Amino acid sequence: MNAVIENSDNTPPPLTAQQAEDRRWMAYAMQLAQRAAELGEVPVGAVLVHQGQVIGEGWNQPISGHDPTAHAEMLALRNAAQAIENYRLIDSTLYVTIEPCTMCAGAIVHARVARVVFGATEPKAGAAISNGQVFDQPWMNHQVAYEGGVLAEACSAQISAFFKQRRAQHKALKQQQRAEAEQARQQQ
């Protein structure tokens, strides 16, 4: 039976050491996501941690890198594998701001990552809990522990703000193009 435990003043219980660690690394992944946004990429960041140390990090770069596989998770896995000179990333935890897609989930399994912690769910392409539940499939040759919802609101807000800004830029560009076209018609 699950129970919500509240203190007498109705405050939530204090964070466990693991919850505090998860929030710390997710906040760092959000900083990496900002690097993606600065490149005009969807702001997703990922950091791979082993025994409390960063062994790999990445942020979305498929557009700027001309690489459809350059998701934050994939880049963090590649970075870590090169850093430790091993494609097996045993006993590591991957923190990523958004639920991994099928491609990234498959790579996580093949790399033997022990645990994935993600922020916001991704209803369209997420493959941990939203669609496919890749990590739960019995035919996978490695079982990955996972947890979602760490700093979920902040991670979701980061993505939402990016797309809101992008929509506003597209709207302003269309308005400018219409104004220029109207001005050109008037000059004829």
By annotation, the residues acting in catalysis are 73
Q: What secondary structure does DSSP assign to 91-129, as a single string?
A: TEEEEEEE---HHHHHHHHHTT-SEEEEEE--TTT-TTT
Cα separation of 58 and 168, whole Å?
A: 27
Give the integer Cα–Cα distance in Å for 181 and 122.
Answer: 39
Of 176, 179, 128, 170, which is closest to residue 150 (Cα–Cα)? Answer: 128
Distances (CA, A) of 122 to 51, 153, 171: 28, 13, 25
CA neighbor of 130 nearest in space, from 99, 171, 88:
99
